Amino acid sequence: MNTKVNLCGIQLDNPVIPASGTFGFGYEFAEIYDINVLGTFSFKGTTLEPRFGNPTPRIAECTAGMINAVGLQNPGVEKVIAEELPKLKKCFHKPVMANVSGFSVEQYVETCRLLDNEEQVGWLEVNVSCPNVHGGGMSFGTSPEAAAEVTKAVKKVTTKPVIIKLSPNVTDIVSIAKACEDAGADGISLINTLLGMRIDLKRRKPIIANTMGGFSGPAIFPVAVRMVYQVSGAVKIPVIGMGGVQSARDVIEMMMAGATAVQVGAMNLVNPFACKEIIEQLPVEMEKLGIENLSDIKRI
């Protein structure tokens, strides 16, 4: 059974990628298993300046999922390059996916430019679900024009594949994906979290200090499959599918919807061995389904 896939010209041993924000900078998980079994992973969302994140509580449990409003807590790109990447290099010997966030086009550009110089970075995953501080707080990913503007600007200062991570909190995901492709994106990553909210009945207040947060987990899987299917049918660049993936069968289903690779998010927080177990189970499920090569899976 051959689990290898090609993502933007880089070969992966398998399509399983822990999603940004659920796997830290990798070395934390390297203490419990050899993370080189992974295809790659997307490291913690990195911004130009350090961010403390949102006030607590930041997490609310839900049926078949969770809501989080961590707020992109990270040490800032310079510290990531100086401290986090050297630690990662000791335990991960493959190209890593750098996840980048920003609150203005200039911030995206500078953060991507700095990370593009790093040898270990294989891809730049640009999260356009952040609020645009100069555009009234609407996220860059909610309009084709804004998403294309970020894509175009980042592509001008980078040499590595740029994958744009899209928000599902939109009316027409396809037009945004196509705008990113037209602006030069090398791939599309989706879906980011849905917007959710829970209320503490005793306190009569929202559970999350931020009121709302990103809803993830198995409950969102059908929405993710639908959006991956729509986008992969409309663009010619690779699509990375994610959203509620919890098993090897889910990975194969995402690939049948058109995904080239698949990210696993919330499951890493429930079971730190989730990705390792999914990778081990892939050949078993492939055999059951008569699939010799994962790369042969065609969009249905």
How far is it, in rounded angstroms, from Cα 3 to Cα 287?
12
Q: What is the pLDDT of residue 142?
A: 92
Q: Of the listed 8, 112, 130, 180, which one is catalytic?
A: 130
- Residue 137 binned pLDDT confidence (cut-offs 50, 70, 90): low
Closest CA to 51 of 30, 23, 79: 79
Q: How far apart are the first and last CA of the chain?
A: 21
What is the structure's pLDDT at 111? Answer: 98
User: pLDDT for 32-48, tens place per residue?
Assistant: 999 999 999 999 999 99
Distance CA 71, CA 50 (A): 11
pLDDT in tens, 275-300: 999 999 999 999 999 999 999 999 99
- For residue 134, what pLDDT is reported? 73
Burial (0-12, 13-18, 19+ Cβ within 10 Å), 282? buried
| pLDDT tens by residue, 212-254 | 999 999 999 999 999 999 999 999 999 999 999 999 999 999 9
CA pair distance 114, 82, nearest whole angstrom: 11
0.95 exceeded by the pTM?
Answer: yes
Residue 195 identity: L
Q: Could you give the count of Cα atoms lying within 13 Å of 113 in the half-sphere of its Cβ?
A: 12
Handedness of CA 8, 103, 24, 142 (dihedral sign): negative
Tell me whether residue 62 is one of the annotated catalytic residues.
no
Among 3.20.20.70, 3.30.70.330, 3.10.690.10, 3.40.309.10, name the CATH number for the domain at 5-296.
3.20.20.70
